[in-house]
Structure 1
Amino acid sequence: MIFSFTATPEFDFMTYFARHIGATVVDNLLVIPAHLGKGYIRKLSFSTEFKITMHHYVLKEDLVIKRNSSSLVNELITIFFYSNEQTLGISYSNNQNLDFNGRDDSAIQVTSNDLSSTIRFPQGHTVHYAVVAIMPGYLKSLLKLNTLNSTVETITGKSKSFLFFENMSADTKLLLKNLSAVDMNEALSKFYMQIKVQELLYLLFQKLSKRENTQHQHINNTDAARLLHIRNEIVNDLSTPPVLNELAQIAAMSETKLKQLFKQAFGDTIYNYFQKARMEEAAFLLKQSKRSVAEVGYELGFSNLSHFSRLFEKHYGLTPKRYSSQN
């Protein structure tokens, strides 16, 4: 199933998606028809400038959502919270099919509405994500920051294309899970939801506001697609450290441009991003596969296990051995 739309402040995703699948929206709730799957989409409008759409369903076929670029640069900010531990297919180019994958596919994407994207949700998997749509001025008034770093200034400003990614913290995952369990028939449920969605924004912008101040580099759909491709190149083989000049050739960018855009989008250098992903994979293998410290270290390319232990302890505060022995 393919659903295509253009992101504008006036566009109502749920209404048009309901028409697309032949369903009916009742009290801002769309129940997925049984022949397509099960679950729901819920929309909450806190004002004309601030709303959230929550998706929770399992479909009987793949769902491809194509967001077409708008001619408006930054009249609407889209914040995408994807909290699944399933593979998410995401692309910023019509001729590429990229996976934003990993052991834990949870991610937060903040984008201006002039960038197009294609996201694929696989059939048979629980889809659980939320999209916050908010006007730049309204967001700026919510944040109430006296000084803005370059990232937050870009997001809340105008006339700039942007794409930022953040990993999802445990607090954010838990908050999203709790939001989906709220009984919307209770009298103060919408008030409660507004507070909690603002808390979501707080957790996100608490991290974004700590990013290094740098001059914002222009980004377009081609750049975005290449950055996702480079990110996948990095995490697909965590036993081998990335080589900048090789990645630059793959991305068809200069080394300087690749370094700048990658750090801008992901909030860290290419090598630091690789090392964090490496440690997260090590933690997964130690906990889930019950492999020994030596097996995990060698699998992730460490010839010196003492070095592996030091890096792991720096990241998690525990040695790999102590970490694996915890319940």
Structure 2
Amino acid sequence: MLTIKHSYGADLDWIESFAASFGGKIEGNFIKVPEEINTGFRYFIDCGDDFVIYYIDVVYKTEIHFIQSHTKSDFICLYYNLTEGKAVKAFNDFSFNMGRFGYDLALIDSTLETDFYVAPDARSFGICIFVKKSKLNTFAQNNVLFAQNVEKVMNPEKNTFIKFDRMSPESFHLLSDLRKLEVGSAVFNLNLVAAAYSLGANYMNQVFNNTITTEKVNKDDLSSIIAVQAYLHENVDGFFPSIKTMADKAFMSESKFKALFKKITGTTPHSYFMDSKLRKAKELLEEKKYTISETCDELKFTNYSYFIFKFRKHFGISPNTFIKKL
């Protein structure tokens, strides 16, 4: 396994050393990497004003362990990741899938060190957006709607930027359309910058609009919360566990657990559990493994009517109509 320790930044100070860590080089805005490591494109644009975009669309030829240990703590990283194949994010002794079939959106503070593993034949595609925190501070200060939240969000003693999520269908289609363009062309550059600003602005609206809880987070806390998420996934066919049960598993007080869970996932434990249960129900119906009634019983919904109501509310379609469209 090839191990690459590197850093990013909201400037281009990291580019040369990043390319060298692969045994590669910089050609224009391309990061050229030996083909025995990966094929495809690594491309960057410095938009100025403390905003850098890193575009990647590669197929890995060897197993790589990336250690992201940033030399600067003055920026945030926003990752839109549609990797297909084995791509694993790790914190301490816990790991989870990233990419199209796992978490495909992450907001990570540059103060956190993370590990990322990719396997041979994994196709990594996505956009990384790096923005200086001072830029965010100016953005919020100039917006009357967000000004009241600036101090608690931007204070490093009170807040760590961290969230793992699923991107919206709109974001997915935006990236898919970008992939159809010739990398490095004027049209591509224009669309890449426009897409990055759109994606970044939408997410920053959440940061300063009280939808992301402000709280300090360390690696132990983060891996504990993600371990509880895995526990909820594994028990999606059961009943919702108590907050106390989950807090005990995370070795936290109930109040700290609820606050950190909301911060990292963007939702409450119960909403997260119900979302996972409904996604599983949809999968079972797609596989035509069970009838609607059997799916309801298999996943232990309260009753049939409740299942129909929640499914329709979540997916905008009834289970019966969904099955007919298969």
TM-score (norm 2): 0.86
Q: Matches of 2:187 and 2:90 in 1, distance apart? A: 39
Q: Equivalent residue of 1:98, what SS?
A: strand
What root-mean-square deviation, in Å, do the aligned CA atoms of Structure 1 and Structure 2 show? 2.9
Q: 1:46 to 1:62 in 2, by over 3 A?
A: same
Q: 1:54 to 1:48 in 2, by over 3 A?
A: same
Q: Matches of 1:136 and 1:21 in 2, distance apart? A: 29
Instruction: Map 1:30-109 to 2 at 5 A.
Output: 30-47=31-48, 49-68=50-69, 70=71, 73=73, 75-84=74-83, 86=85, 88-93=87-92, 96-100=93-97, 104-109=101-106
Asked if 1:132 corresponds to 2:129, the answer is yes
Q: 1:63 to 1:293 in 2, by over 3 A?
A: farther
Does the CA contact (< 8 Å) of 1:154 and 1:162 recur in 2? Answer: no
Name which of structure 1's ranges 167-176 and 284-293 shifts more when overlaid on structure 2: 284-293
Structure 2 unaligned blocks of 5 or more: none
Aligned pair count reads 322
Match of 2:249 in 1: 250
Match of 1:234 in 2: 232
Does the CA contact (< 8 Å) of 1:230 and 1:251 recur in 2? Answer: yes
Does the CA contact (< 8 Å) of 1:115 and 1:220 recur in 2? Answer: yes
Name which of structure 1's ranges 168-177 and 156-165 shifts more when overlaid on structure 2: 156-165
Q: Matches of 1:53 and 1:185 in 2, distance apart? A: 12
Does the CA contact (< 8 Å) of 1:263 and 1:270 recur in 2? Answer: yes
1:112 deviation in Å? 1.7
Q: Matches of 1:291 and 1:265 in 2, distance apart? A: 33
1:252 deviation in Å? 1.2
Q: Matches of 1:99 and 1:117 in 2, distance apart? A: 12
Q: Matches of 2:172 and 2:325 in 1, distance apart? A: 21
Does the CA contact (< 8 Å) of 1:61 and 1:122 recur in 2? Answer: yes
1:196 deviation in Å? 1.8
Q: 1:34 to 1:68 in 2, by over 3 A?
A: closer
Asked if 1:161 corresponds to 2:143, the answer is no
Q: Matches of 2:116 and 2:168 in 1, distance apart? A: 22
1:23 deviation in Å? 2.1
Does the CA contact (< 8 Å) of 2:284 and 2:290 recur in 1? Answer: yes
Q: 1:284 to 1:246 in 2, by over 3 A?
A: same
Does the CA contact (< 8 Å) of 1:102 and 1:235 recur in 2? Answer: no
Q: Matches of 2:300 and 2:246 in 1, distance apart? A: 19
CA deviation vs aligned residue, 1:44-89 (integer Å, no higher than 9, x gap): 111151011112112122222111255x55x111111112355542
1:198 deviation in Å? 0.7
Q: Matches of 1:105 and 1:86 in 2, distance apart? A: 10
